């Protein structure tokens, strides 16, 4: 894979899976715009890329807000001249059983996890359609495919990403823009570190590969879908879950 002439935006790129994706895309040559709501974390990842010899800039943004998304896209085009790849990775979780879930927690997760995908995709598409080339990759989840108790908001948002992906893929395919989703399973992140050891063992019993995934596992899949080699793949959901579902 060679993305040396491509410019990628990674939302939620300041840590965890987003950080791994940003580093991997830079590793295969892309210029990476690291966006995160936390400026320090975005700057840190952009710094890592530059230290390794890559090209990167940090652009903090709340991608659930249209004005911030517009500023992110404008800054990318101004600095890099183009946008070739968008990775919709930004997300939050506010878990609670449905009967205890507040409207605020429902709205927050839907805004950050799903509305941001709509806003960012719409904003970059104009640039991709003009060039007749683009890659849009959104992070769904095993929870969006199978559901998960206590995550009605998160599962709904991640399932929504799948429907959004398949629909937009149909709309823009004739312009050589591919739109795909990745559905990670249990990945070693700050979120999964909170799971008690007993629960971890119970989960592993349902994972044929007998381990949690790593952010790098997801990043490798993203890099493939962003490449020329994946040019005939669109409207798909790639599960990176060790065979769990």
Gyration radius from the chain CA atoms: 17
Of these residues, 106, 154, 186, 212, which one is catalytic? Answer: 154
**In whole angstroms, what is the distance from residue 117 CA to residue 157 CA?**
10
**In whole angstroms, what is the distance from residue 64 CA to residue 120 CA?**
9
In the annotation, is 232 catalytic? no
**Residue-by-residue DSSP string for 127-180:** HHHHHT-EEEEEE--HHHHH--TTBHHHHHHHHHHHHHHHHHHHHHGGGTEEEE
Six-digit token string for 14: 């300041």
Six-digit token string for 37: 């709501």
Helix, strand, coil percent values for the chain (each to nearest 5): 50, 15, 30
- Supply φ then ψ for residue 88, to 5 degrees: -85, 95
Which of the residues are catalytic?
A: 154
């Amino acid at each position: 894979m060679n993305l040396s002439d491509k410019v990628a935006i990674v939302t939620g790129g300041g840590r965890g899976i987003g950080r791994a994706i940003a580093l991997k895309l830079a590793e295969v040559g892309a210029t990476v715009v690291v966006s995160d709501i936390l400026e320090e974390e975005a700057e840190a990842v952009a710094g890592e890329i530059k230290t390794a010899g890559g090209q990167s800039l940090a652009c903090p943004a709340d991608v659930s807000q249209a004005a911030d998304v517009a500023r992110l896209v404008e800054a990318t085009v101004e600095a890099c001249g183009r946008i070739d790849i968008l990775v919709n990775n930004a997300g939050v979780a506010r878990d609670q059983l449905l009967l205890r879930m507040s409207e605020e927690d429902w709205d927050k997760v839907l805004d950050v996890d799903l509305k941001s995908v709509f806003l960012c995709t719409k904003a970059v598409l104009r640039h991709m359609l003009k060039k007749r080339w683009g890659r849009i990759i959104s992070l769904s989840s095993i929870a969006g495919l199978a559901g998960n108790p206590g995550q009605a908001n998160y599962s709904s948002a991640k399932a929504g990403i799948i429907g959004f992906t398949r629909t937009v893929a149909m709309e823009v395919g004739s312009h050589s823009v591919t739109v795909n989703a990745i559905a990670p399973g249990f990945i070693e992140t700050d979120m999964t570190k909170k799971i008690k050891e007993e629960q971890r063992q119970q989960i592993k019993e349902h994972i044929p590969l007998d381990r949690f995934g790593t952010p790098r596992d997801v990043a490798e899949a993203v890099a493939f879908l962003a490449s020329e080699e994946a040019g005939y793949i669109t409207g798909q959901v790639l599960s990176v879950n060790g065979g769990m579902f």
